[in-house]
Amino acid sequence: MKIDLKYVNDSKGQTTAVQLSLTEWEKILSKLKKFEEVYKIKSDLKEAFEQVDVLKKSKGEKQTLKDFLNKL
């Protein structure tokens, strides 16, 4: 993805900001939202697998997925 950026400099020539078109900004926001959704799914899956590991190691009574769903 090539983005046309414009750099803003202060009176000393130091870059202080970057400008881009609204269209480019909206594309970036859209991609960021997709990345956030994927990250959330991965995080949720990681947590679920960690919980499964804890349950596998526990000696308590286990419940099948079918039984769990039937109780909902």
SS3 content of the chain, % helix, strand, coil (to 5): 60, 10, 30
Judge whether 45 lies within some domain: yes
Determine, yes or no, domain membership for 1. no
> Nearest to residue 25, comparing CAs of 50, 6, 12?
6
pLDDT band at 59 (very low <50, low <70, confident <90, very high): confident
Work out how many domains the chain is built from and give that number. 1
- Position 40 in a domain: yes
The answer to whether residue 29 is domain-embedded is yes
Q: CB–CB of 3/19 below 8 Å?
A: no
Predicted local confidence at residue 55, as pLDDT: 81
pLDDT for residue 47: 95
Beta strands in 1-72, from DSSP E residues, in sequence order? 6-9, 15-19
Q: Tell whether 66 is covered by a domain.
A: yes
Assigned domain for 59 exists: yes
Mean pLDDT of 31-43: 97
Expressed as residue numbers, the domain containing 37 is 6-71
